[in-house]
Chains A and B, each alone.
Chain A
């Protein structure tokens, strides 16, 4: 086969492929939530099972403010016994109480995307122990494949997200401005501030802060 013939066949094939590509109708834009989280846009949809086996979908909470906290039972800023832990120090419980005082319908969910060097059953066991130890009165959802964590770009435990009653992401970032847990009542809880702003019909400011804590221990 001559070089010219080869080039002609290749050109015809490429043209054919291009034609197919051009002729193939593009799928209509989906009205569903975007694949990744962005302030001011619909929060990514998810459906996860909690450590007790109950399914939780974001869409189940339409019409309510949803607060999500990324969680790891083995992180000293999250579920591990440590003076800096938001759970062991009682700060997370205090936040949930304050949120309910502002709006009793606020939904608080914890999501655990931990998977590195651990079995899923080990994660669930550790989370159950932490939930009991710290009296966490909110469900802990298991995201073992990390899909939801990656969609939300969750980086730390804790990493907080606030979604308004229309399903729009309004805040993401740090739990508060007191990483070392030394400020006591003088600390500013960014989640509480964001929910207050949303309830007042205003935009949270800041709407994003640098999250702090252990890195989320994704499997991949």
Chain B
């Protein structure tokens, strides 16, 4: 009895350092259309779903201090317009090497596609997607996958599929958030203000741009509103020739969206240190 208890105690106290490295995890990759059929000129989404095993994570479009952004490529027929990949809000994981922007569990990425206006109904559209990712825990593994989505073409779009619901929680442009102002004030700093969100306290996830340095935000709340100030600096010598932009997410709580909506909002505006940039609040 005593020896069993001792063995359990020793097992619980054993340092992790001696454990064998984890085996390669299997990340499942699937793709689906947001509608059951598509029609000429009417945009729809292809939703890529990556199912990441528990305790492992892949990376947001800006991985943070380490890691690699998950990459998705969509191949559609000529004249189909393919939009950028929309990512869900990341969770921030703190690691001795720094903070990373991670995606875990079932991860849905969306790509908006607009078919040409002269698409003939009665046929089928083929959309091919491939992706690669870095999946990490104590070790990291590269992974990749591909999938094909065949969608009937009809005169009017078919009803939404289950996949349409999966992406309702994706971050949307902050211009669509009611009562929210984004303004660059002399200093310069980025000032974001608006109503608070029941999902949690506001915070900011920066999307890194070369040459643009954003400082630690100062956040104040009063009643139902918040004000976030983010100091900014720009050094053209470090820009790698890219135009300076301020990009990131205003996140409330962990930022995990729900089927009802998002609790993370995208910011994307050119860097202007003169304090003339302003985003009007949504009505």
Contacts and interface: CB of A to CB of B under 8 A. Distances in A.
B161 interface: no
B238 A206 contact: yes
Interface size class of B (residues with CB under 8 A): 20 to 34
Interface in A193-208: 205-208
Interface stretch (B138-146, B171-179, B218-226): B138-146
B238 A208 contact: yes
A156 B142 CA distance: 15
A116 B138 CA distance: 7
* Majority DSSP secondary structure for residues of A touching B: loop
Interface centre among B100, B140, B142, B238, by most chain A C-beta atoms within 10 angstroms, is B140
Interface in A124-173: 146, 150, 154-156
Contacts of A214: 66-67, 134, 136, 140
Nearest to A177: B240
B113 interface: no
Contacts, number: 89
A155 B98 contact: yes
Interface in B1-60: 16-22
B237 A206 contact: yes
Given A119-B18, A210-B210, A156 B237 contact: no
Contacts of A218: 95-97
Contacts of A217: 97, 138-139
Given A76-B142, A117-B21, A219-B17, A211 B66 contact: yes
Interface in B41-100: 63, 65-68, 71, 95-98, 100
Contacts of B134: 76, 214
Interface in A169-203: 177, 179-180
A71 interface: no
A74 B17 contact: no
A74 B21 contact: yes
A47 to B, nearest CB: 22
Contacts of A102: none
A89 B18 CA distance: 31
23 contacts: A76-B141, A84-B142, A117-B16, A117-B18, A117-B138, A119-B17, A155-B65, A155-B66, A156-B65, A179-B68, A180-B132, A205-B238, A206-B239, A208-B238, A209-B240, A210-B210, A214-B140, A215-B95, A215-B100, A216-B97, A218-B96, A219-B17, A219-B96
Closest 9 CB pairs of A and B: A215-B66, A218-B96, A214-B140, A215-B97, A216-B97, A156-B66, A206-B238, A155-B65, A76-B142
Interface of A: 74-77, 82, 84, 115-119, 146, 150, 154-156, 177, 179-180, 205-220
